[in-house]
Amino acid sequence: MAVYRGDQAQLTFAMEAAQGADPEMMDCEGATTGASTTLSAAIEAGVRSFAVASVSSMVVGDFIRIGTVESSEEDTYREHEVRRIEAINGTTLVLDRPTAFYHAASEQVKEINAIGGNATRNDRDKYITFIPGVYESFTTPDPSMTLTGRRFLNTQSKRNYSMVYAGQQSLVGSVSGITLLNGWPLRFPIGNVVTTPQTKGGLNARLQGDHKKGDIFVRIENAASAGAALGAIDTVAENGRDAQSNSFPNATSGYICIDDGSATKSEVRRIVQAVVNTNYYKLNYPLQFDHDDEASVDSVDADGGDYFEHIITETTDLATVSWHVHMRDSAETTANDFDRRYMGGMIGSSTLSAEEGGMVTMSWDGVNFLNMIHNQEDQSTDGDGTGSNGVGTSLYNSTTLQAGMPRFGVMQAIDADDVGIPGANDGSSIPTTQPYYFSEGTMKFFGTEFARIASFSISISNGEEPRYYIGKQGKRARGPFEIREGQRSYSMSATVTLPDSIASTASTATGATELFKQLLLEGNYGGDTGNTGITCSIKFERDANDYIIIDIPGGGSTAGTPLAPTNKLSKSGMYINTANHSPGTDSLLQIEMDAIFRSLKIYIRDTVPVYP
């Protein structure tokens, strides 16, 4: 008999344009039913409710498609998504979770009864497909319930509680033992990532109009005059599926760089479709940033062996992620797939570590989520078990099944052939690179390399706090309304085998007693220099143009050269708390060092064009 096996579980993730807004498009064309209306006004990504022209026959529990979808696939150039109605106030619809995309006024809102529509297009419109690396285990953030026995005065109590009532819910997950194959998971506990290619193709194009974070379709105003084959769509293999690709000059891969030259907004995406007879182009993954009108667009040859530089810098507001957990039973029965999706995840605490003889690993230690949906539609308790509640009907108002499942949602399965960069067009976009090995790393304190680092661990804490406010949520959903960042803190521990001994009168920074001296100095060097701390730089290199560099403190302009700390406010570096030089049984004197620091910056160079 088929069973669900833990080793057949699959976790993928993607960024969100707004907290709690899982990104995915489903056209559902050919599967619409009942009411059809339009948006009364434009809505941004992250909206939980909006006004429509008329609610018609819509009822609480219905699933709706938001966004206009044309009958021809090549004519669609608007984002669209599916949400569930949780409440209706006049002509205002309250959703089960925030919208993932911007929608213009008068766009369609339709009731649906199944995913339906163009199966190929639906299959291409999955974006929660990135893996954090090679992970050993993960904890799913299924709701943790607060069920409390309440005691009331009554003759039946007999010292026991009288009734159980449900309280607030929390959704906390984690991923441990991630072996890094690239830098995909690094940025989420820190901030944003800016990507610039080594070379560009010389396409002199510009965006037409402002574009928003989360957009899938972009307008390129002078792509045709720059040489792009507008409307010339090539059919190529995309992870075993048919796909549309626009061929840019000198860039058969179809990748473009938007806002190149910007230190805060440059990003790389792939063109997967040119909308016929328009200047609209469909991207393989939502935009990470807002982009202004006339922002530059250039072509990139991502298949030519060039590298991409990704720079991760701190931000006050962290990006959130959606997780998708896909389980298929041991008999490989698609109809038995067990899918869960978690929204609004903030990577609150994280650890990056490595030790001698091992690989560089990362853990997402604590990830708080706002909400979840799943594909378990029906449940027979207190009902006849016929499963008569279908997608698009009101599970709340059923007369034949009393226990329609809370948090049931319409979503696409993320299958094995979906994993990796969406629309990579290389047959399989699961990373095939080798891990980063500790043996390929170096660490520098105060600009001096210590060759005998036995291990290190960097801990990141964002002090995140789930907040519970008054507000309409889904049926039996009492999770957080939002998650806010708190005080950020960094710490590092390292095991250091001391360098060769030198004279006690020596002042060189390469000596065996230098860590002892730095411990006593406490990062304060007196005089005009004062309280500055030290610098630290960690590098793991697979090739000359394939590495990860962590600079402490952040703010430097060159990889491997941290910003020189000063005694100015918010400009200091690393401070050593402990570095006990007690003799042990090891053949060499080995020091357990613990330090704190206020900022970092990560430089990554690899051949991966798209970072989530």
What does the pLDDT look like over 139-174, one tens digit per residue? 999 898 888 888 888 778 788 888 888 878 889 999
Residue 3: its pLDDT value, please? 86
Q: Between residues 239 and 296, which one has the greater pLDDT?
A: 296
The 3 state secondary structure assigned to 351-386 is EEEEECCCECEEEEEEEEECEEEECCCCCCCCCCCC
Judging by DSSP bridges, how do beta strands 536-543 and 465-467 pair with one another? unpaired
Q: Is 20 exposed, middle or buried (0-12, 13-18, 19+ CB in 10 A)?
A: buried
Residue pLDDT, tens place only, 390-426: 443 444 444 333 346 788 888 998 988 899 988 764 4
Give the integer Cα–Cα distance in Å for 209 and 406.
41
**Bridging pattern class, strands 441-445 and 536-543:** antiparallel
What type of residue sits at position 349? S
DSSP strand pairing (171-179 vs 137-139): antiparallel
180 near 361, Cβ under 8 Å? yes
Q: Give 557's DSSP letter.
A: S
Of the candidates 246, 196, 206, the one whose C-alpha atom is nearest the C-alpha of residue 226 is 206
Architecture of domain 25-124 in this structure: Beta Barrel (2.40)
Average pLDDT, the chain: 84
pLDDT at 243: 40
- pLDDT for position 233: 33
Average pLDDT over residues 445-466: 89
Please tell me which residue, 436 or 402, carries the higher pLDDT value: 436
* Per-residue pLDDT at 65: 93
The contacts of residue 254 (CB under 8 Å, 6+ apart) are 245, 246, 247, 248, 270, 271, 272, 425
Residue 184 has pLDDT above 50, yes or no: yes
Contact 40, 91 (CB under 8 A): yes
**Of 42-51, 69-78, 506-515, highest mean pLDDT:** 42-51
Helix (H, G, I), strand (E, B) or coil at 123: helix
Q: Is there a contact between 417 and 240 (Cβ–Cβ < 8 Å)?
A: yes
325-383 pLDDT, tens digit each = 999 988 888 889 999 999 999 999 999 999 988 999 999 999 999 999 998 877 665 44
Distance in angstroms (rounded) separating the CA atoms of residues 551 and 112 = 51
**Cα–Cα distance, 586 to 570 (Å, whole number):** 39
What are the DSSP calls for 213-239, one per residue?
A: TT--EEEBTTTTTTT--TT-EEEEEET
CB 252 within 8 A of CB 303: yes
Closest CA to 521 of 563, 562, 574: 574
- Reported as a pLDDT band with limits 50, 70 and 90, residue 461 is very high
The predicted pLDDT at position 429 comes to 67
pLDDT in tens, 547-569: 999 999 988 889 888 988 988 88
Predicted confidence at residue 254, as pLDDT, reads: 78
Residue with tokens 């499963």: 387
Identify residue 61 by its one-letter amino acid code.
Answer: G
CA distances (Å), origin 204, targets 41, 176, 207, 220, 221:
35, 44, 11, 10, 10
DSSP H/E element including 122? helix 119-124
- Rounded CA-CA distance 274/232 in Å is 8
The whole-number pLDDT of residue 407 equals: 87
Give percent above pLDDT 70 in the chain. Answer: 88
Cα dihedral sign, 234-253-420-428: positive
Q: Which spans in 440-577 are helix H?
A: 514-521
Return the DSSP state at 464: -
Express each pLDDT in 186-229 by its tens digit.
Answer: 999 999 999 999 988 777 789 999 999 999 999 998 765 444 43
- Residue 440 amino acid letter: E
Numbered ranges of CATH 2.40.30 in the chain = 25-124
Q: Residue 33's pLDDT is what? A: 65
Residue, of 265 and 511, whose pLDDT is higher: 265
Q: How far apart are CA 122 and CA 327, in angstroms?
A: 20
Q: Which residues contact 482 (CB under 8 A, 6 or more apart)?
A: 19, 344, 370, 466, 467, 469
Residue 32 has what pLDDT? 64
Please tell me the number of Cα atoms within 13 Å of 80 on its side-chain side: 26
Residue 30: the pLDDT is: 67
Measured CA to CA, the distance from residue 40 to residue 52 in angstroms comes to 5
CA distance 508 to 556: 25
Give 156-205 as a DSSP string. T-TTS-SEEEE---BEEEEEEEEEPSSSTTTSTTTEEEEEEES------E
Q: Which residue has the higher pLDDT, 573 or 260?
A: 573
Preceding peptide of 98 cis, ω within 30°? no
In this prediction, residues 431-449 reach a mean pLDDT of: 86
Instruction: State CA 139 to chain mean position distance.
Output: 16
* Residue 134 confidence (pLDDT): 93
- Characterize the bridge pairing of strands 546-552 and 601-606: antiparallel
119: confidence class by pLDDT, cuts 50, 70, 90: confident
pLDDT value, residue 428? 53
At 492-547, the pLDDT tens digits run 999 988 887 888 878 777 788 888 888 999 999 887 778 999 999 999 999 999 99
Spatial separation of the C-alpha atoms in residues 219 and 117, rounded to whole Å: 25
Residue 182, class by beta-carbon neighbours within 10 Å (0-12 exposed, 13-18 middle, 19+ buried)? buried
Helix (H) or strand (E) holding 119: helix 119-124
Looking at per-residue pLDDT, the higher value among 394 and 431 belongs to 431
Instruction: Answer with the residue of higher pLDDT: 431 or 488.
Output: 488
Determine phi and psi for 46, rounding to 5 degrees.
100, 0
* pLDDT (mean) for 287-311: 89
Q: What is the mean pLDDT of residues 426-450?
A: 80
Q: 90-110: per-residue pLDDT in tens?
A: 999 999 999 999 999 999 999
Instruction: Give the model's pLDDT for residue 371.
Output: 93
> What residues contact 528, with CB distance under 8 A and at least 6 apart?
none
Helix (H), strand (E) at residue 120: helix 119-124
- Residue range 124-142: average pLDDT? 92
